[in-house]
Structure 1
Amino acid sequence: MSSVSESSFRSSSVCLITPGARRTTLRTDDGLSIEAVYEPCTAGAGSAADPVAADAAIVIAHGFTGSADRPAVRRAARVFAQRAAVITFSFRGHGGSGGRSTVGDREVLDLAAAVAWARSLGHRRVVTVGFSMGGSVVLRHGALYTAPDTAAAEEQLPLTVPAHGGRTEAHADAVVAVSAPARWYYRGTAPMRRLHWVVTRPTGRLVGRYGFRTRIDHNEWNPVPLSPVDAVPLIAPAPLLIVHGDKDPYFPLDHPRMLVDAAQGGAELWLERGMGHAENAADENLLTRIADWSVAA
């Protein structure tokens, strides 16, 4: 795999959209290597390409302990590719990416690298779709990379976003958060209490590393990153879709409702009957509807 830095994306001219799938390594602004996969849109294969589909790319942000190669992520990519080009990647500490997971904090830099790659491939419209932890990341990314430069937003940046185009070339044109939390440190369900044990305890991090193939950073957040509910009002004017299952065992329905309320009319809410949590629970029908919304929004 070739290693390509984000800075090279910003300095290069826009190239033609790649005709075939490719796997590469991206470099984040804090110097980590992130594995990523690009797949072209399959709409109109063998005929003239749909100009809307050719223009759009969907970047998938997986959940905690996921990766670009997990079956549920590959299934989502396959469905999305029927409507637009797709980029999948593994967050830091997951799969073949470097570093350790910060469980939603610096992962915003991983997503920014993937979005910048999509634009370097010629896609003028980029939509981020995040699941669970990835849902919280797309919300923060949408706030930090599309909102005007306000003092409140600047104070919450995990690292300084480069002045040479980080905000303009790594922004999302629309945001979809599936099964996302509204607030940090939530322990109101048994699955979330187990997750906190994995993240905060030495023994739990060993289980994460060898049981779930996820390397977790032992440091506490400092400062605490912008929460999802506080990020949501900063995403406008980009369209925002919140998707949540009414059988989600991790986050009850007050989470998506809090997010939509915080958007003050700037978000659409889909409550999915019988759906569980994140990419593993998203069936093909829901994924197709998300892809259609992403292209049309």
Structure 2
Amino acid sequence: MSTETAKHARDPLVSGARKGAIYGIIISFSGAALVGIIALLGGDFGETQGKILLTTVLFGAFSITALCHLAIADRAMRLVGMSGLLASGVALVTGLVLIWRDWADSDLEVWFRVFAAGGILAVSFAHANLLLLLVGRRRAAIRWGLAATLVAIAVVAVMLILPIVTDGGIPGEDAADVYWRVFGVIAILDVLGTVVVPVLALFLRDGAGPATPAAQEVSAAAPRHVAGAPLQLRVPDDLADVVRSRAAQQGRAPEALALDALRRGLAGDDS
């Protein structure tokens, strides 16, 4: 087979980043636990110890959101994952500034606003990226439910960020009651979709619904008992996802890519 065909479906760089995020979670929260234990046993918990504890917790939170963003980093929606990593990075840097700067400084308010906005975006992207793992499902209920939930996530994030960056100018005192009532309704729909859509994905399998071209026959169907008739081959869902992803990367039709891979594989067996 060629190098491209033999290449693993998952990007090694992304896999390594995922492992790094997992190690970051373990190390950060283990460090936070260690600092807490030492402070409790030693009886001395001052400002420096508090800053160290907050730093380890911040790195742990960054690692958790980064792991969520990396869940789709090797898929067609990788741009959303990269945007989430950027938001997490902004929250990490500004959070470190807030922790280690003198807390009496007057300009920390600006840093706090950037940190809050970055944190909200990081969590929202992490939430969306986990749901985007279902983007390839073909059931209409899952597709529409996923789209509605993603819209709700975006609206909730924007409605939280606007009052922060405008210092309460939006929604203002007059419209505050209506604003937060609308926010509450959308937040409830957000939670509802987050729970219902993955549950539907567990029970509604794609095999019973209409298949997309990438999961249909590689060639036209024909009676199997006729000699020389085209072979009908149905691709399993997991393999169809790999074919779609590789075809999107190469800018080719999934069927053509699958046929080429099959030919090369059979040629390799013959040799």
TM-score normalised over the length of structure 1: 0.21
More strand per residue: 1 or 2?
1
TM-score normalised over the length of structure 2: 0.23
Q: Which has the larger radius of gyration?
A: 2
More helix per residue: 1 or 2?
2
Structure with more contact order per residue of length (Cα contacts < 8 Å, sep ≥ 6): 1
